[in-house]
DNA sequence: CACTCTGTTGATCAATTGATCAACAAGCGA
DNA sequence: TCGCTTGTTGATCAATTGATCAACAGAGTG
C-alpha cells in the first residue's frame, strides 16, 4: 500500500523463493524495456536491492539466460504434435485445436516481446526454436493435410504463410500495440478455412 | 585498405554530405544493434570522431529521430492506392502488383529491423504508420474486393491476416534470420489466390 | 540469552557513455 | 603567402551502470 514503486518484497525470503521472485520480475521487466534495461531498475521493480541480484545470478548475462530458459522451456507442448496426427479427429478440428493451443501458449505480453527482443538481438535459442516449429509442427501439419483425400500437401512456404498470418495477430497486439480482437478464435478459423480451401482448389 | 574498421571517410567533407554520411551510417548501425547502440560505435563505423556527431545532431535522440524520419518518410507511395483502385486492371493483378511494390519497399534489412526496434520501444510513429496502412491501404483493398462480382468484402481482421502472412516473410528473413525464398513473388501469389478464393467461397 | 547461519543492504569501484569545448587544420579568397 | 571560415579532433566532464564487499540483521538452535 505504499505509494512508492517496488519494495513490496518481504524483508527476508527463503533462497529459492527470492530467486523465483527476481526471475519473474526480470521476465516482466525485460519484456517491457528489452535486455538493455538496467539492473538497478529491475531491482527496484523486484523490490530488492541491486546488490541482491548478484547473490542469485552471477552476472546480468546469467540472469538474462535464466529468463530465456524459463521463457522457452516447455513452451512447445509435445502433446500438440500427437493431437495433430490424431486422425480420429477431423483435420479442420485438429488445425483449430492446435492453433488455439499454440496462440494460447505464446500470446502473452512477456513471451511475444521477449521473443522479439531476442530475435532482433540475434539470440541463437530464438532461431533454434523456430526451426523446431518448422520441423516438429508445420511439417507434420503439412503432411496431415496431404494425407487428406482431395487435398494437395502445401509447401513449407505455404505453411509459414498460414503460421505467420496467425502469429501476426500477437505481433500487432503486443509489439505494435494495435487493437486486436479479444478472442482471436474467429480469425484463426477464417484463416484456417481459407488455407484448407486453397489446398483443395489446386 | 587499412585493416581497421571504419575510418573510410574523407578528411574533410562539405557539411550536408557529412551529415548525410552520418545519417546513413546511423541507419545501418541502429538497424543492427538497436537504439541502445553507443555513439562511439556509430562514429567508428561512420569513420568519424564521436565528437563530430554532435556538430550535425544536437543529441543522440535528435539523431535517432532523423533516422526515423528518413526511414518512414515516403515509404508509403501514394500511387499504390491509385493503382489499387484502377479497375481497368483485374483485381488479382492489382493485389499482386501492390504487394510486389509494398514488399519491394519494406523488405530491406534496415527498414524491417528499425521498424521492429521502434515498435518494441513503443515509438509513436510506428503505431501511426500501421494505422495508415490499415486506413489507406487495407481498407481500400477490402472495398475493391467487395466491389468484385461474386466476392464478399473481407473484414479488416481478414485483411490483416493477408497482410501479416506476407509481411511475416520479411520478419523471418531479417529479424529471425531464417532462410526464405530469394524471390517471394510465388509466395505472395499463393497467399493472394488463397485469400481471393476464400472471399469467393463465403 | 548467546551463537551461528545466511539473507540483505549501503557504500564503492572501474568501465562505459552522452555531451562539451578549446585547439587544430584544410580549403579558399584577397 | 596571409588570414579567415569552418570542418574536425583529442581531451575531458558528469552521469550511468555492472559488479564487489564488508557490515548488518533476521531466524532458528542450544
Tell me what pLDDT residue A202 has: 61
Q: What is the mean pLDDT of chain A?
A: 93
Note whether B139 and B45 are same-domain residues. Answer: no
pLDDT in tens, B80-94: 999 999 999 999 999
Note whether B64 and B91 are same-domain residues. Answer: no
Structural domain ending residue among the three candidates B27, B55, B70: B70
pLDDT in tens, A61-88: 999 999 999 999 989 999 999 999 999 9
Tell me what pLDDT residue B10 has: 56
Tell me what pLDDT residue A12 has: 81
Cβ of A79 near strand C (distance < 7 A): no
3 state SS for A84-140: HCCCCCCHHHHHHHHHHHHHHHHCCHHHHHHHHHHHHHCCHHHHHHHHHHHHHHHHH
Note whether A114 and A160 are same-domain residues. Answer: yes
Identify from A168, A174, A187 which residue to disrupt to test chain B contact, counting B C-beta atoms within 10 A and taking the largest count: A168
Note whether A80 and A58 are same-domain residues. Answer: no
Has residue B87 been placed in a domain? Answer: yes
What are phi and psi for residue A87, nearest 5 degrees? -80, 0
pLDDT band at B4 (very low <50, low <70, confident <90, very high): very low
Identify from A189, A194, A201, A202 which residue to disrupt to test chain B contact, counting B C-beta atoms within 10 A and taking the largest count: A194
Has residue B8 been placed in a domain? Answer: no
Has residue A3 been placed in a domain? Answer: no
Note whether A85 and A61 are same-domain residues. Answer: no
Tell me what pLDDT residue B2 has: 33
Helix ranges restricted to H, chain B:
15-33, 39-46, 50-56, 60-72, 78-84, 91-106, 109-121, 124-132, 139-147, 156-170, 185-201
Note whether A80 and A180 are same-domain residues. Answer: yes
CATH code of the domain covering residue B45 = 1.10.10.60
Q: Crossing angle, helix B91-106 and helix B156-170, to 10 degrees? A: 50
Tell me what pLDDT residue A14 has: 79
pLDDT in tens, A165-192: 999 999 999 999 999 999 999 999 999 9
Using the predicted structure, report yes or no on whether residue B3 has a pLDDT greater than 50. Answer: no
Q: Which nucleotide is nearest to B49 (CA to C1')?
A: D9
Range of the domain at A94: 74-201
Note whether B96 and B156 are same-domain residues. Answer: yes
How many angstroms is C1' of C28 away from CA of B70? 33
Using the predicted structure, report yes or no on whether residue B65 has a pLDDT greater than 90. Answer: yes
Check CB contact of A59 with chain B, cutoff 8 Å.
no
The three-class DSSP label of residue B46 is helix
Q: What is the mean pLDDT of chain B?
A: 93
Note whether B144 and B188 are same-domain residues. Answer: yes
| Rounded CA separation B117/B53 (Å) | 22
Interval A38-63 mean pLDDT: 97
Number of domains in chain A: 2
Tell me what pLDDT residue A10 has: 57
- Smallest CA-to-CA distance from A125 within A111, A137, A139 is with A111
Amino acid at each position: 500500500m505504499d505509494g512508492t514503486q517496488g519494495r513490496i518484497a518481504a524483508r527476508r525470503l527463503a533462497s529459492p523463493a527470492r530467486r523465483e521472485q527476481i526471475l519473474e520480475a526480470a521476465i516482466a521487466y525485460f519484456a517491457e524495456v528489452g535486455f538493455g534495461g538496467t539492473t538497478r531498475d529491475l531491482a527496484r521493480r523486484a523490490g530488492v536491492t541491486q546488490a541482491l541480484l548478484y547473490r542469485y545470478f552471477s552476472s546480468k548475462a546469467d540472469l538474462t539466460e535464466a529468463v530465456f530458459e524459463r521463457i522457452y522451456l516447455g513452451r512447445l507442448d509435445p502433446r500438440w504434435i500427437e493431437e495433430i496426427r490424431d486422425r480420429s479427429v477431423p483435420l479442420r478440428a485438429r488445425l483449430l485445436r492446435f492453433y488455439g493451443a499454440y496462440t494460447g501458449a505464446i500470446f502473452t505480453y512477456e513471451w511475444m516481446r521477449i521473443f522479439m527482443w531476442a530475435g532482433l538481438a540475434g539470440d541463437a535459442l530464438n532461431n533454434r526454436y523456430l526451426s523446431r516449429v518448422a520441423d516438429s509442427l508445420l511439417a507434420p501439419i503439412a503432411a496431415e493435410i496431404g494425407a487428406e483425400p482431395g487435398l494437395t500437401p502445401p509447401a513449407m512456404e505455404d505453411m509459414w504463410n498460414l503460421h505467420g498470418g496467425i502469429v501476426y495477430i500477437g505481433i500487432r497486439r503486443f509489439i505494435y500495440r494495435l487493437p486486436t480482437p479479444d478472442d482471436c478464435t474467429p480469425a484463426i478459423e477464417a484463416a484456417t478455412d481459407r488455407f484448407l480451401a486453397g489446398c483443395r482448389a489446386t
